[in-house]
Amino acid sequence: MSKFNKVSVTEKNRIKKLIYAKYEKNGLISACDWASDFNKNHIAEIPFEWCVACDNHTPSIDHECTCCGQATKVPTQPQFYQAVLKPIKDVIKHVYPQGGVTLEERMGKNASCAECGENKWWLLPSEGVAVAQSGKAYCECLNCGSKTHL
């Protein structure tokens, strides 16, 4: 974790002012460059955190963007998930419980992959962004990785 948040308030304010001056004069990139250069020469590094308002990783002191003053995202531990493959008996029933469609209508004859001809598919987890945003059930060919929606 960054050590800069442990330095004195006076030092923090001094650095905040310096970065903000850069930001006002030459913009975000130059403010970030200044902080990166500072970090090369100092043990107590200024943390870079994600600022939604600046749409960038920005130098952030006490989780506050030194450029725009908005709260930055406090870094969390990375988390990884593994999806487990589990056979789906009737994928149409699974995806379209209301019925009214057939597999052939959705994916062509024998649900063959248009790219490689195989027909083993992995239904992408609904937590994924592509699925959540489109509202469609996506599946990926287990043989070639080509994606299609059901």
By CB under 5 A, name the binding residues for Zn ion.
51, 53-54, 58, 65, 67-68, 70, 113, 115-116, 118, 141, 143-144, 146
The Cα–Cα gap between 34 and 62 comes to: 18
Token pair 């004195």 in the structure block, residue: 8
Among candidate residues 128, 109, 127, 129, the one with its CA nearest the CA of residue 119: 109
We find the least distance from the C-beta atom of residue 84 to Zn ion, in angstroms, to be 21
CA 144 to chain CA centroid, Å, is 25
We find the least distance from the C-beta atom of residue 131 to Zn ion, in angstroms, to be 19
Q: Which is nearer to Zn ion, 132 or 144 (CB)?
A: 144
Alpha carbons within 13 A on the beta-carbon side of 49: 24
Q: Which is nearer to Zn ion, 56 or 92 (CB)?
A: 56
We find the least distance from the C-beta atom of residue 87 to Zn ion, in angstroms, to be 18
Beta-strand pair 147-149/56-61: unpaired
Listed in sequence order, the residues at least 6 apart from 92 whose beta carbon sits closer than 8 Å to its beta carbon are: 99, 101, 102, 103, 106, 150
Q: Which is nearer to Zn ion, 42 or 120 (CB)?
A: 120
We find the least distance from the C-beta atom of residue 2 to Zn ion, in angstroms, to be 17
Q: Which is nearer to Zn ion, 32 or 113 (CB)?
A: 113
